């Protein structure tokens, strides 16, 4: 298979530095072509190559440009596994980030998630413990109180309070960003997240 991703050019950081703060429309337009070539196009190549290696990751989208400066300062993409269950990939001045996320849930997904935790919380807890041991941060929208339909002393009370669930890591070796090693890093992280994503897809979708 022919690969297209060879890393982000180092000049990509220069483009993103030029977009820091509140860049004017003139600044955005002046940097648009360089940003497309140096920042966004490598993300497309990265996710294309990842999908080429594993069809599981074939349903992806790469963010374009929006009115808010955030969309210019952070280049993101998503890989859909199920409704509201996605891998989220982002490149910015802080590096390359990947998350396995159940987020922005549809109506009915939160009760389905809680029912799944009630019945198979041990499996989810073990998956999250394994990811924490690999330096993933586990976050999400967490209620302060327990859902009223479950007892306060439920063995998986901490998981039942979640209304979203996200596991994320950041590429710590910046030198990898400029080479094809970033693809290998992303593939390894996606594989580590696969079991969690399958659990979430089965639970909520």
Domain limits at 120? 11-204
2 assigned to some structural domain:
no
3 assigned to some structural domain:
no
Q: Render each residue's pLDDT in the chain as its tens digit; 205 residues.
A: 688 999 999 999 999 999 999 999 999 999 999 999 999 999 999 999 999 999 999 999 999 998 899 999 999 999 999 999 999 999 999 999 999 999 999 999 999 999 999 999 999 999 999 999 999 999 999 999 999 899 889 999 999 999 999 999 999 888 999 999 999 999 999 999 999 999 999 999 8
68 assigned to some structural domain:
yes
195 assigned to some structural domain:
yes
Whether the CA torsion 172, 6, 74, 192 is positive or negative: it is negative
6 assigned to some structural domain:
no
4 assigned to some structural domain:
no
Task: Please report which residue ranges of 40-133 form alpha helices under DSSP H.
Answer: 41-53, 70-73, 109-133
168 assigned to some structural domain:
yes
42 assigned to some structural domain:
yes
Whether the CA torsion 44, 45, 50, 56 is positive or negative: it is positive
Average pLDDT of the chain? 96
To the question of pTM greater than 0.85 for the whole model, the response is yes
**Rounded distance, CA 71 to CA 14, Å?**
16
120-153 burial by CB neighbour count: b if 16+ within 10 A, else e?
ebeebeebbeebeeeebeeeeeeeeeeeeebeee
CA distances from 82 to 60, 66, 92, 102, 145 (A): 12, 25, 26, 9, 28
> How many structural domains compose the chain?
1
CATH number of the domain at 198, please.
3.30.930.20
97, 90, 87: which is closest to 200 by C-alpha? 87
């Amino acid at each position: 298979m022919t690969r297209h991703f060879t890393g982000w050019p180092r000049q990509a950081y220069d483009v993103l530095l030029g977009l820091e703060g509140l860049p004017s429309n003139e600044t955005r337009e002046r940097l648009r072509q360089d940003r497309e070539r140096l920042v966004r196009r490598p993300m497309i190549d990265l996710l294309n190559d990842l999908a080429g290696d594993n069809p599981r990751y074939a349903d992806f989208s790469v963010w374009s440009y929006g009115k808010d400066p955030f969309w210019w300062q952070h280049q993101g993409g998503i890989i859909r596994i199920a409704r509201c269950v996605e891998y989220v990939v982002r490149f910015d001045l802080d590096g390359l980030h990947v998350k396995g996320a159940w987020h922005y849930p549809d109506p009915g997904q939160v009760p389905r998630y809680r029912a799944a935790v009630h019945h198979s919380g041990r499996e989810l807890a073990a998956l999250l413990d394994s990811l924490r041991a690999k330096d993933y941060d586990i976050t999400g929208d967490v209620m302060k109180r327990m859902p009223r339909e479950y007892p306060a002393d439920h063995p998986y009370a901490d998981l039942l309070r979640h209304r979203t669930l996200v596991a994320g890591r950041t590429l710590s070796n910046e030198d990898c960003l400029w080479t094809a090693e970033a693809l290998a890093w992303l593939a390894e992280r996606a594989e580590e997240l696969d079991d969690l994503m399958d659990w979430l897809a089965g639970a909520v979708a």
